[in-house]
Amino acid sequence: MAMFTLMRKNEEVMILQIGEDGNIVKLGKKENTALLPLQNRTSSRGVIEWWRDRAIPIKQGKIEKMLRDNGIETTGLFLTQNLGLSLTDYYWIRPLGSDLTWEKVNLFDNDFKENLLLGKIKMGDDEVEEYHPNSSLQGNLEKTWIIDRGTRKLVKGNHDIYSSESINEVIVSEAIKAQGRDAVQYSLLHIDGKEYDYGCVSDLFTTQKKELVSAYAVMTSEQRPNNLSRYEHFINVCDKNGLDRNTVREYLEFEILIDFIFSNRDRHLTNIAVLRDADTLKFISMAPIYDSGKSMLVGRDIVPVTDKYVLSQDAQGFKEKELELLKYVQNKKLIDIGLLPSQEHIREMYHKDSQVSEDRISFVLEMYKRKIDMYERFASGENLSSIRF
């Protein structure tokens, strides 16, 4: 076991005892409770759970093999060896008695080893210690941080031999921007040695001045009243932290609608986020929309596209079904149909994948066409939940 100080930049937050598996086993003295991570603040074990969740998932990409090859027993230990550093916020751990500073270790300014999609990592052999932002990367999709001509970028792959998820990121991000909304900009990237043709890459959108806070962290920072939905609770907490509640609501409604049209089933509560000011701790804005790769029926079998199928899609986050999420939408006309990508454009994008079949593309396009039709009916006032199959 070893003792560490949980830090936020150069501010001491609290003392931690971390076990040999990299998990926190004991919480010590709190130096500054205002700087504690927002996630699970209402729980006495909040910091313990936050640290556990911070570690890269064992099922992400090749992380399990990488750990085994380097004699690292757990993702928690990998996280600890890299001081818990991240490129989305300012938390890290400093060994007790160490003179390390944020300026020496932060990954916004200091270089780090680039390990494309978590290949073999050589640790501890350099004269100058370098830390890895990958140890705190979330999600099961293989991905890695890189530095390209001084710019921090995130490279993502796909779950199978197809490039669909990466292509979807590009299509949906362009579609969101065409609507005048903010989205992370993705572009396709060929990755050597992969079965799929393309991954995708995007620039880092956090800085030393603004950090990313997930909707899950926001929601669990305060106790939710029993008579309030998680959706309304999230809006309330954002409002208390400096965001205009009507702006937050419109953002969520737009996101629900664009996810409906593109059949995105991966909008869980860590794929919705706010940006927070590093100094004031006030929320600045909702984050640009990101992680839309699991759109367009990725991984779903080709079946006849009926009204029942169109309206029975799964969702995540605030509700488990798309139809249930639509009930939160008050302004039903947030999407300009005329600005959505054409079927021809989507077909052209999918043809970049040398392994995708024409049947798959036709399936995707038919569903997209039906979803637009369903959205138009919804926007005109029709209650989609009342449609009988």
Per-residue model confidence (pLDDT) at position 341:
98
| Residues making up the chain, counted from first to last | 389
The gap from C-alpha 147 to its chain's centroid, in whole angstroms, comes to 19
Assess if residue 132 is contained within a domain: no
Q: Say whether pLDDT at 117 is over 60.
A: no
Assess if residue 324 is contained within a domain: yes
Average the pLDDT over 99-128 and give the result. 68
Contact 190, 297 (CB under 8 A): no
- pLDDT, tens digit, 9 for 90 and up, residues 268-327: 999 999 999 999 999 999 999 999 999 999 999 999 999 999 999 999 999 999 999 999
By residue range, what is the domain housing residue 76? 2-110
CA pair distance 60, 117, nearest whole angstrom: 10
Assess if residue 124 is contained within a domain: no
Do 236 and 365 belong to one domain? yes
Assigned token pair, 169 = 């990121």
Residue 54: enclosing H or E segment and its boundaries? helix 46-54
Residue 145: enclosing H or E segment and its boundaries? strand 143-148
CA pair distance 192, 83, nearest whole angstrom: 30
- pLDDT, tens digit, 9 for 90 and up, residues 190-238: 988 889 999 999 999 999 999 999 999 999 999 999 999 999 999 999 9
Assigned token pair, 285 = 């804005």
Q: Say whether pLDDT at 389 is over 70.
A: no
Assess if residue 280 is contained within a domain: yes
Among 72, 89, 110, where does a domain finish?
110
Among 110, 132, 162, where does a domain finish?
110
Per-residue model confidence (pLDDT) at position 123:
38
Q: How many domains does the chain have?
A: 2
Among 61, 79, 110, where does a domain finish?
110
Per-residue model confidence (pLDDT) at position 191:
86
Do 85 and 230 belong to one domain? no
How many Cα atoms are found within 13 Å in the side-chain-facing hemisphere of 141? 21
Do 106 and 249 belong to one domain? no
How many Cα atoms are found within 13 Å in the side-chain-facing hemisphere of 154? 25
Mean pLDDT lowest for which of 69-78, 249-258, 335-344?
69-78
CATH number of the domain within which 346 lies = 1.10.1070.20
Do 105 and 228 belong to one domain? no
Assess if residue 309 is contained within a domain: yes
Do 240 and 362 belong to one domain? yes
Assess if residue 156 is contained within a domain: no
Per-residue model confidence (pLDDT) at position 118:
40
Assess if residue 232 is contained within a domain: yes
Do 104 and 216 belong to one domain? no
Per-residue model confidence (pLDDT) at position 115:
57
Do 232 and 365 belong to one domain? yes
* The model's pTM: 0.93
Share of the chain above pLDDT 90, in %: 78
Do 234 and 340 belong to one domain? yes
CA pair distance 154, 202, nearest whole angstrom: 5
Residue 12 CB burial class (10 angstroms; 0-12, 13-18, ≥19): middle
DSSP 61: T
Assess if residue 281 is contained within a domain: yes
